[in-house]
Amino acid sequence: MITKQLKEVREWAQAMSYSPREPPWTWQRYRDLVATIDEILASQAATIALEAGHALAGNNPGTPLGANVVSIESARRRPALRLVHLSR
């Protein structure tokens, strides 16, 4: 349902971007809206829907962590520290 509405808004914005009745400053805004909707639709197409009741392993509190993992925070990668030497 949301996909259908996004496509309708995209078509409307596309038509408005070429309308001579609209002020020139709005044309780029309509084109930006079309591009944003294209990105949303592409993202929707690239994802999969989870079945009801199905959770990802990381979001399920009952899922045991690995043997060497104390908490989920310790399992995440941390950015490496960079030392910066300032010279005079």
Judged by DSSP in three states, 70 sits in coil
Q: What is the model's pLDDT at position 72?
A: 59
Query: In this predicted model, what pLDDT tens digit does every residue of 16-60 receive, in sequence order?
Result: 988 888 888 898 999 999 999 999 999 988 887 666 555 555 555
37 closest CA partner among 16, 13, 57: 13
The model's confidence at residue 66, banded by pLDDT at 50, 70 and 90, is low
Q: What is the model's pLDDT at position 11?
A: 95
Distances (CA, A) of 59 to 15, 21, 56, 63, 82: 43, 51, 5, 8, 31
Domain ranges (residues) in the chain:
2-45
Q: How far is C-alpha 35 from the geometric centre of its chain's CA atoms?
A: 14
> Residues 6 or more apart from 83 whose CB is under 8 A from it?
none
